[in-house]
């Protein structure tokens, strides 16, 4: 099988953040694999939540990228949800 990374979407096809409200990444490998997944944190968000295999990961003062350590397993499920600020422009 080798290693496999998927980002499932409820509607099929490519995942679009604003349609899904959160992103889910699934990683599967034949052997126990260890590594770091670097998640880009957009400059427009002030808060976000990361869940690794059902457990919340504490997130504080992140600028640019957030590293998720992956170890001790063959499967990983990562969910990321960003708070999207609403901006109103005078027309």
Q: Residue 58's pLDDT band (boundaries 50, 70, 90)? A: confident
Looking at mean pLDDT, say which of 5-9, 26-30, 50-54 comes out highest: 50-54
Among 83, 32, 33, 42, CA closest to 66: 42
The pTM of the full predicted model, rounded to 2 decimals, is 0.67
Q: Burial level of 6, CB count in 10 A (0-12/13-18/19+)?
A: exposed
- CA 57/CA 77 separation, integer angstroms: 12
Whether the per-residue pLDDT at 33 is higher than 70: the answer is: yes
């Amino acid at each position: 099988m080798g290693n496999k990374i998927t980002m499932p979407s409820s509607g099929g096809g490519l995942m679009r953040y604003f349609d899904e409200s959160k992103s889910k990444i699934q990683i599967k490998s034949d052997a126990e694999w260890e590594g770091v997944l670097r998640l880009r944190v957009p400059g427009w968000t002030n808060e976000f939540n990361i869940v690794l295999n059902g457990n919340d990961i504490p997130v504080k003062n992140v600028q640019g990228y957030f590293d998720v350590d992956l170890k001790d397993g063959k499967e990983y499920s990562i969910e990321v949800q960003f708070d999207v600020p609403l901006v109103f422009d005078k027309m």
